[in-house]
Amino acid sequence: MQNLYAAAYACLMQTNLEQKLAGAAQLHADWLAGMLVRIDSPDCPVQPVPVPGRPAKPELVHPKHVKQRQLTTQEGRRALLHAIAHIEFNAINLGLDAVYRFRSMPDAYYGDWLQVAAEEAGHFQLLQARMLDFGCRYGDLPAHNGLWEQACKTDYDVMVRMALVPRVLEARGLDVTPGMMARLGEVGDVQSVEILEIILRDEIGHVRIGSHWFRHCCGQRGLEPESTFRQLLRDVMQAPLRGPFYTEARLQAGFSATELEQLLEMERAWMMEISHSR
C-alpha cells in the first residue's frame, strides 16, 4: 500500500515527461485497485508548489509573447496544437495538486481528480502524436504559465480552487474549443478536430467535477454557491467571466441557466464601469 498524498506529490514533481504521463495513469489505476491509502503524515506535509515538475522546455514567457498564427498555415496549426498540449500538461499537474494538497475531502473527491489527471495525460498523448505529424514536439515553442499561476493563487482553500480553476480557466476551454474545431474543419484538418472532440467531451466532465466539489464545499460552509462564485470572481479573480459562453456545454458542466445569465450581466456591468472610468 502506498500513501496517496506522497504518490501524488512524486508524480506532481516528476520532470521526465513520459514518466509523468505513465505515472498519472498508474495512480488512477492504483486508486481503483485499492492500492493507495490516505495518510496525512509528517513525512509528506502540504507545502507550496511554485514550480511543479516539468521538462526544461518549453520556455515560459509572458502571454503577450506567445505568437498567434493563422490556422490556414501549417505553422499556425502547429502553434495551436502546442498551446493546447501545454494546457493539458498543466492540467495533469493541477489534478495531481488537487489530490496532494487538500486532505479533508471525501474519498470520491480523490478518485475524481486522479481520473482527471489520467485523462489529461491521455489528451496530451493524443496531441503529442498529432504534433509529430507537423514536425513538432512539446517544448519546441514557447508557452506561458498562466494556468499554474492561478493554481498557486488558490492553493490555500479547496473551495476557492474548485471555483476558480475548473469553473473559470478550464471552463473557458468549453467556450473556445468549438470555434477552433470549426476553423480546423474549414482547412480540412480532420485529425485535429477529432482530437479536440475527445478533449471537449472529457473537459465537460472535468468542469462538472469542479462544479460538484465547489457546491459540496459551499454546502459544508452554509454558503449559496452561485452568489459565492460571483463573489470569488470579484474578490480573487478581480474580473468577471468573459462571454460568449458555449451554453450547452456549461449547462452539462454544472452551471445553471440563471447563473449564466447573471455572469453575463456581471460582465456587462464590469465593462460599463471600465468605460465610465476612462
User: Which residue has cell 498567434?
Assistant: 68
Q: What angle do CA 210, 182, 69 make, to 5 degrees?
A: 90
Q: Is residue 51 part of a domain?
A: no
CA-wise closest residue to 195 among 106, 112, 129, 269: 129
3-state secondary structure of 157: coil
Q: Is residue 55 part of a domain?
A: no
Asked if residue 178 lies in contact with residue 63, where contact means CB atoms within 8 angstroms, the answer is no
The alpha carbon dihedral of 148, 152, 153, 159 has a sign of positive
Domain of 173, in residue numbers:
2-42+60-277
Q: Is residue 53 part of a domain?
A: no
CA-wise closest residue to 141 among 76, 70, 94: 76
The pTM assigned to this predicted structure is 0.95
Task: Give the mean pLDDT of 182-189.
Answer: 96
Give the total number of structural domains in the chain.
1
Give the pLDDT confidence of 50-105 residue by residue, as tens digits: 999 999 999 999 887 777 778 889 999 999 999 999 999 999 999 999 999 999 99
Q: Is residue 48 part of a domain?
A: no
Rounded-to-integer distance, Cα 144 and Cα 133, Å: 23
CATH of the domain at 115: 1.20.1260
Length of the chain counted residue by residue: 278
Q: Is residue 65 part of a domain?
A: yes
Q: Is residue 207 part of a domain?
A: yes
Predicted confidence at residue 69, as pLDDT, reads 74
Residues of the chain with pLDDT > 90, as a percent, come to 88
Q: Is residue 52 part of a domain?
A: no
Q: Is residue 169 part of a domain?
A: yes
Predicted confidence at residue 104, as pLDDT, reads 96
